[in-house]
Amino acid sequence: MEIDCRAAGGPEALDSIWMSQSPIPAASGIAWALGWMAEEFAGDGIAIKRVAESGLRLVAPDPERQARHHFREAGNIQALAARSLGAPTRVIGLTWIDEGQAIVVRPDTRVLEPADLRNLRFALPGFARTRGESIARGMALHGIQSALALGGLTLGEARLVEVPAPPIEQPSAAGMRRLWLGLDWLAAGRVDAVYIKGAAAAEAAARLGLVVGIDLDSYPSRLARVNNGTPRPITVHADMIDDHFDIVVRFLEQTLRAADWAAGNPAELKHILARETLAGISGVEAAYRGDFHRSLHPDLSPDRVDMLEKQANFLWLHGFLEHRVDVARWIDPRPLDAALARRAGLERYRAAAR
């Protein structure tokens, strides 16, 4: 007879853990692609599986059970929206990866500096089936506000033109094109500017002959780039920390190991990111520039926590969250502290053995 360990008061036995399959650059996804996650947990009889999301739900046969064993390194809008609805998740790391945030325009539109954005018509995707699932709208609205602020402007000094909300669907190359529908409106002259982010968007803009008007990544202040992926939280169900703390720590160890690998292997990394982001090499090179490959390590630094709080406040003020999220209470630093301590101990052991 099979015993339900949770009903009996003990931790639920693990035979699988789940990782979100999101079209983003993530060290945990790189560790999975390199086979390190599977290798780490094979001896425990634990399979590592990717799971897609549809809005705030997992696309899985038993989503409630899988949510308890789910690691998510993906955009903060859905994570914050789920938390605002009471999801028992914890943030165990934050990453910051500049990924080609920009305002694009047609070549005949004169935009040399942020002040030139005054009175332009910006594409703003409509709300999805719920406000918390309205990722395209949340990204665009914050990106537009940030670009305007660089020129001392406010949202009231631009014209926001609603375009249809992209459908809520599982990640795919075609779905990524639908996410940036505003680009088609821009090419057709129905709007004057569109916020974009990431490799697939950069490819789509180039394919339509559009050009970058304002490169948000080029400005020194990170405040100009606080958005859905900056910072990007790594979340896990609180039960995993309580019942399987060592598994959580080992997951983070492999994530940190992959970030180390990425720092020294930029050429190989581009091919992994092309697969992960559902884009081509040209899109990856356009979106991820400079030393981005050295910045995949998660941490919980005060700077990143402060940026997540700013994003949470923005989403609350603009109606994307049902309730305010207390970011400080959402974070649990213990697993990352333990992973970093283990890695430091391993480095000391290796140094002593030399």
Q: Please, what's the largest Cα pairwise distance for the chain? A: 72
Residue 12 identity: E
7 in a structural domain: no
- 175-206: b or e for each residue (b if 16 or more CB lie within 10 Å)? bbbebbbbbbbbbeeebbbbbbbbbbbbbbbe
220 in a structural domain: yes
**Claim to verify: residue 220 and residue 235 sit in the same structural domain:** no
**Claim to verify: residue 90 and residue 106 sit in the same structural domain:** no
**Claim to verify: residue 220 and residue 255 sit in the same structural domain:** no
3 in a structural domain: no
**Claim to verify: residue 179 and residue 245 sit in the same structural domain:** no
**Claim to verify: residue 138 and residue 158 sit in the same structural domain:** yes
**Claim to verify: residue 126 and residue 200 sit in the same structural domain:** yes
28 in a structural domain: yes
**Alpha-carbon distance values, 34 to 31, 184, 258, 301 (Å):** 5, 36, 8, 27
**Claim to verify: residue 241 and residue 346 sit in the same structural domain:** yes
**Claim to verify: residue 151 and residue 244 sit in the same structural domain:** no
CA 167 – CA 353 distance, rounded (Å): 56
Query: What is the dihedral angle through the alpha carbons of 266, 269, 271, 277, rounded to the nearest 10 degrees?
Result: -120
CATH code (residue 320) = 3.40.190.10
Domain stop point among 206, 225, 244: 225
317 in a structural domain: yes
Domain stop point among 225, 250, 282: 225
**Claim to verify: residue 242 and residue 341 sit in the same structural domain:** yes
Q: Say how many domains are in the chain.
A: 2
**Claim to verify: residue 60 and residue 124 sit in the same structural domain:** no
Taking Cα atoms as reference points, which of 326, 301, 299 lies closest to residue 312? 326
**Claim to verify: residue 27 and residue 44 sit in the same structural domain:** yes
Range of the domain at 144: 102-225
**Claim to verify: residue 285 and residue 346 sit in the same structural domain:** yes
8 in a structural domain: no
pTM of the model as a whole: 0.90
145 in a structural domain: yes
* List of residues 6+ apart from 10 with CB closer than 8 A: none
84 in a structural domain: yes
CATH code (residue 111) = 3.40.190.270
Domain stop point among 170, 191, 225: 225
CA 193 – CA 183 distance, rounded (Å): 8
From first to last of its 354 residues, the chain has per-residue pLDDT tens of 233 444 445 677 899 999 987 778 899 999 999 999 999 999 999 999 988 765 555 545 555 666 789 999 999 999 999 999 999 999 999 999 898 999 999 999 999 999 999 999 999 999 998 888 899 999 999 999 999 999 999 999 999 999 998 876 656 666 666 778 899 999 999 999 999 998 889 999 999 999 999 999 999 999 999 999 999 999 999 999 999 999 999 999 999 999 999 999 999 999 998 888 878 888 888 878 888 888 899 999 999 999 999 999 999 999 999 999 999 999 999 999 999 999 988 777 777 777
